[in-house]
Chain A
Amino acid sequence: MKSVFRDYIDGIHAMLPLLPGAVPFGMIAGAVAAEAGFGPAAGIGQSVIIYAGTAQLAATQLVAEAAPALVVVLTGLVVNLRFAMYSASLAPHFIGLSFRRRALLAYLMTDQSYALTILRHGADETVTAITKARFYLGGAIAMWVVWLGATATGFMLGSRIPPSWSLDFFVPLSFLALLVPGIRDRATAIAAITGAIVAVAASGLVFNLGLFAGAACGIAAGYIVEARRGKKDDIR
């Protein structure tokens, strides 16, 4: 029993330094939802139903711009495609667990819970699936509680702040804060620059298709740059 407890505590402990970063992000997600005219149920409920900050902010931004629902949904899902990648990476570690437990692990997946579990247990074959799952859950539940509290707080504060404060500007800013540290090589830098330029150039397109055009061209550009560099390395 004691070691069960310790696995969870271990997970919470590893997550602690990452929680303060989620607080302003969650508060902004709540505040901009309030400004975009979401009611309290939708504004806070999306944190439970979607539970993904980038998707929530992107969707809120598009709702505020009066984009069609299909564009809102597709954008939300495109920014969450990375979860399929995390899922593929985590899957071998959770083999043998019940489907209900794996569904719970999946629902609570975040960038942070994925990264912590892979960094801690990814290379260790002696650790059992259940221990990894408890470690993951401890941190993931802590993140869920903090996220919900932060968005609810942000929502309540946000609805009282006048529009002249340009609170909506927090959305591109928080995306910048996520984007910039993630640019670690030339290929991701070119993906980002291409995405931005194409999105602006194509911003006149109907249904916000400029966003998808930018994303698609950015991904393609990054892929090509990386593939070419790979070939050069082969030649050397």
Chain B
Amino acid sequence: MSVTTLWLSIVAIGVGTFVLRLSFIGLSGRLALPVAVTRALRFVPAAVLSAIILPAALRLPEGGLDVSIDNPRLIACVVAAGIAWATKSVLATLIVGMGTLWLLQALL
């Protein structure tokens, strides 16, 4: 990606995000979201985050996906998910997940 395209992308996300944040506050309560939309929006973080996580965990440096169960990134993600579930701590999840990956990369 060229420097110009990168900047345009950043500005486009920034402007769009500001519009999303301002939307209803800007209208000062003159408009409310339909109930069905609010219900659907509740699932956006879970659906989007997991759709980014799993392909990123399986992606090989040379391209393509490694779906084998001895993929170190996949193992580290499973361990990290367990830590996230047990501790709800961002820091603990990062430390254990990264530590597991480094350990597996050193061993395998």
Residues of A in contact with B (beta carbons under 8 Å apart): 20-21, 24-25, 28, 38-39, 42, 45-46, 49-52, 54-55, 58-59, 61, 63, 65-66, 69, 72-73, 75-88, 90-92, 94-96, 99, 102-103, 105-107, 109, 165-166, 169-183, 187-189, 191-200, 203, 210-211, 214-219, 221-223, 226-227
Contacts and interface: CB of A to CB of B under 8 A. Distances in A.
Interface string B26-43: 111100110000111111
Contacts of A216: 47
Contact of A90 (B14, B25, B88, B105): B25
A169 B49 contact: no
B29 A192 contact: no
A19 B93 CA distance: 17
A16 B94 CA distance: 21
Contact of A211 (B52, B58, B80, B88): B52
Contacts of B88: 180-181
Contact of A218 (B41, B51, B56, B97): B51
Interface in B58-102: 58-59, 65, 67, 73, 76-77, 80-81, 84-85, 88-91, 93-94, 97-98, 101-102
Given A180-B84, A200-B67, A102 B22 contact: yes
A83 B18 CA distance: 9
B17 A203 contact: no
A214 B49 CA distance: 10
Given A77-B16, A176-B84, A188 B42 contact: yes
Contacts of B57: 172
A95 B31 CA distance: 12
Given A73-B9, A91-B29, A172 B43 contact: no
24 contacts: A42-B6, A46-B13, A49-B14, A72-B13, A73-B16, A75-B48, A82-B44, A83-B20, A83-B23, A84-B23, A85-B41, A86-B21, A90-B24, A90-B25, A91-B25, A95-B28, A105-B25, A172-B53, A179-B46, A180-B81, A191-B43, A192-B46, A192-B49, A215-B48
Nearest to B96: A173
Sort A-B residue pairs by CB-CB distance and give the 5 closest, nearest first: A218-B47, A214-B51, A222-B43, A49-B14, A180-B84
B40 A188 contact: no
Contacts of A77: 13, 16-17, 20
A125 B27 CA distance: 20
A55 B46 contact: no
B46 A183 contact: yes
Residue among A20, A25, A45, A72 with max Cβ neighbours from chain B (10 Å) = A72
Interface string B1-14: 10101111111111
